[in-house]
Amino acid sequence: MGKKGSWFLVYSPFPVTLVFTLYLFIVALGPHLMRKWEPLRLKGLLTAYNLALVALSAYMFYEMCIERFFSQHQRAFPCLSQQMARVCWWFFFSKVIELLDTVFFILRKKTEQVTFLHVYHHGTMLFNWWAGVKYVPGGQAFFIGMLNSFVHIFMYSYYGLASLGPQMQRYLWWKRYLTILQLVGWHQFFVCLLSGLTYWNGHFPRCPTATDQGEVWVECYSRISQKTFNTHTSFLQTSLIPTKGRKETENFYTFVTLPTPIYKSVFSIAA
């Protein structure tokens, strides 16, 4: 892999925009086209797909951890920054691969899974990481990729086991913990946003445009997280969490679904 300007899907915004446009067409037209067809099982394909993403996520998590650990010795290992950039490209490319999650939902006629949040997540991750690899591969960006890869090791392991059939259900008792892990991971962007803005304002001249954009992201984040966690709180409390543990869960969700003004007050402190 050569210079980042020539990397696949990164050299220009047009290829990734074309990919996402095709994705939106599939989301819009796929369920209508599948009305005449029976749901596809795709058992073997789903198992291979999920296990491949487990392996890719584990590789990216390992590489990011190792390279971050040795980054304190970059003079002794001058190739580390290039390797970190390459791993960030693989993370971006994994977001392209993961668009197939939606395609498989549609082919299996599980369109209830294709929610606004599902499409929003895939779209924002795709374009955010395209920009990250194009302009600032490595640096603080690695942390989000590392956490996301860690979560995806368990998430796609669960999906891979579940795709093997009902006989695997007894081995999937840890579903509740996976759900909590996913919800905690949902906040990683917000935490990184605050820490990034704090670093920016402390080390570089103040940029009003960056601050304004940060407030827009906080507004969007808080509104989406409130709706998301309201849904997941009900699901966890009624389906997954034992009665004796529900009070602690309510306290946890009271914190993570704070109103927008409180998020903005935290933002103002960081900025």
Between CA 107 and CA 29 the distance in angstroms is: 12
**Residue boundaries of the structural domains of the chain:** 1-173, 175-271
User: Could you list the mean pLDDT of each consecutive 10-residue stretch along the chain, which spans 271 residues?
Assistant: 70 93 96 93 94 96 80 53 85 96 95 92 91 79 84 94 89 89 73 58 44 50 54 50 47 42 40 38
Residues noted as catalytic: 121
User: Would you state the pLDDT for residue 145?
Assistant: 86
User: Would you state the pLDDT for residue 219?
Assistant: 54
Helices and strands of the chain, counted as H and E runs = 11, 0
User: Would you state the pLDDT for residue 196?
Assistant: 57
Between CA 219 and CA 119 the distance in angstroms is: 19
